[in-house]
Chain A
């Protein structure tokens, strides 16, 4: 629907209009947005000092704040133990009861998703860059730093520059062994790591409508690597069904106007698209997997985990390939589910056994090897195939280590072969 500007609004513009209480907003405009949900992980420990320095005493709305520790769970260093203790103390003092502590833990974004903490129309912020993932709910969800989070906890709002929106319109059907991860890597190859800086990336088109919520989480998750403020997908029946039993607050579903003005539209047809891989040392260094397979890239470690790709669907897909096969000699294969409920589900379905029988290590839920600070750390010159989201120098340990980002199916195929492999060879 057109307004006085002569064109309609993108979904991100609509969400930010609501958040700022304005009839409409335009890209570049600075607005004050009311926050619907604020999330902190360990970095939230650094929110406590600025919160007190601001002279704040009360949190604006304790029922809109979630704490989910995930980077070092259970604490693997004394430093991490101190961060956890700071958060527990702060939560107790300020009445923050939605604390996903050790035993109920999971990767913060997965905790928000599976517990319905972010719903259509929300403005959500979190102290982690991959908060973008929750844009898959039809929300604007962005990462912020801990000082900014202190202001959000005190005031319940923050300033935002209304982003221009890039539309990624996708049609066609995935071939066998090709996944939403391959799609988002393909988009990254085109948008590059700077192409969406300060912008929103809205995914539209029939292929996106056909994606499950977990697949939408994967594609919105990696808009962070494009520099985006948020990824976003218009809510539909799948969104409502996903949230039916869990939504923690009222939804305000919105969709983009048909005459919305996008800064740029990228059309992608996925018919015939091969699996993709992001090669060292950037998530936008994307090549067809088949090209890299020909180079016989031997791996030392394989990681199936992270907020990008460690949901039950990813682990089921991986286990189906793993069943009856072995991890290649000399390869360390680490599998880390995205949340404790997913861990339990894996236990129930025999997925843990499938992986451990094959020679993998199945860990408790955490960010695990993804960020190079907890476990599964790489030595200089080692090579890792990973279902995670970043492969910059030093991301998973030594700065010389080389990380290849791929789909869950492709990392499992790689663990079996001992070198970068195409999952379609196993199907």
Chain B
């Protein structure tokens, strides 16, 4: 995980639920490259065609509320979304996104300082999101070490893999 993340911004409103990110009719798709064709189909129909790797999603409150479907962050990861920043997140999405290694930042007031197409700069350890076009910024409490470690490892799969490896080697978990 990079400490400073910069990218082009896509904005979304409040209460964008998981049905608006990946609709129920796509839940039998498990290939992320197939899933990404349908991401934000209801909330932001142009996103799937126009988004580039490194783009940043900025949303208002309660982003990705609703279902536990990991299809939502998986599709974002497949596109190469650089980070997801929101005023607040629904809890399962927050865990899912971090488990997949997507920098996920809760920053109060962030949606109000961005418009679509702006460039965002996120400083993970100091806890600041800045709009490079306007200079406006908001601060956020940096992620707990536990979660930064998880992102540092590249996600939960890698973290558990290391732990199981260490266990098999007879050592204590890192």
Contact = CB atoms under 8 A, between A and B. Distances in A.
B91 A197 contact: yes
Interface in A9-48: 30, 42-43, 45-46
Interface string B67-81: 111100110000000
B160 to A, nearest CB: 4
A83 B30 contact: yes
B54 interface: no
Given A77-B28, A227-B65, A144 B160 contact: no
Contact of A129 (B67, B99, B155): B67
Interface stretch (B3-11, B14-22, B125-133): B14-22
B86 to A, nearest CB: 11
Contact of B19 (A71, A77, A394): A394
Contacts of A129: 66-68, 92
A211 interface: no
Contacts of A43: 27, 68-70
Contacts of A371: 24, 27, 67
Contacts of A77: 28
Given A54-B160, A373-B27, A147 B91 contact: no
A141 to B, nearest CB: 12
B157 A392 contact: no
B42 A393 contact: yes
Contacts of B100: 147
A144 B61 contact: no
B157 A53 contact: yes
Interface residues of B, number: 42
Interface residues of A, number: 49
B90 A145 contact: no
B15 A282 contact: yes
A80 B28 contact: yes
A359 interface: no
A145 B27 contact: no
B165 interface: yes
Interface stretch (A149-157, A165-173, A266-274, A419-427): A149-157
A390 interface: yes
Contacts of B15: 193-194, 282, 392
A183 to B, nearest CB: 21
A194 B23 CA distance: 21
B92 A159 contact: no
A423 to B, nearest CB: 28
> Could you say which of B17, B73, B100 has the most chain A C-beta atoms within 10 Å of its C-beta?
B17
A145 B20 contact: no
B111 to A, nearest CB: 14
A236 interface: no
A353 interface: no
Contact of B66 (A82, A150, A154, A392): A392
B42 A146 contact: no
A145 B70 contact: yes
A155 B163 CA distance: 10
Interface in B46-92: 61-62, 65-70, 73-74, 88-92
Contacts of B25: 372-373, 377
A171 to B, nearest CB: 30
B25 to A, nearest CB: 5
Interface in A188-237: 193-194, 197-198, 227, 229
Given A194-B61, A373-B25, A393 B19 contact: yes
Most buried by B among A131, A229, A399: A399
Interface in B139-174: 144, 146, 155-157, 160-161, 163-165
A150 B161 CA distance: 11
Nearest to B94: A198
A151 B62 CA distance: 26
A146 B92 CA distance: 11
Nearest to B155: A147
A299 to B, nearest CB: 20
Contacts of B99: 145, 147-148, 151
B161 A46 contact: no
Contacts of B62: 193-194, 197, 227
Contacts of B66: 129, 390, 392
A371 B71 CA distance: 15
Contacts of A55: 161, 164-165
A263 B20 CA distance: 31
A56 B164 contact: yes
Nearest to B14: A194
Interface of B: 15, 17, 19-20, 23-30, 42, 61-62, 65-70, 73-74, 88-92, 95-96, 99-100, 144, 146, 155-157, 160-161, 163-165
Ranked nearest first, the 5 interchain pairs of A and B with the lowest CB-CB distance are A79-B28, A373-B24, A145-B96, A145-B70, A372-B24
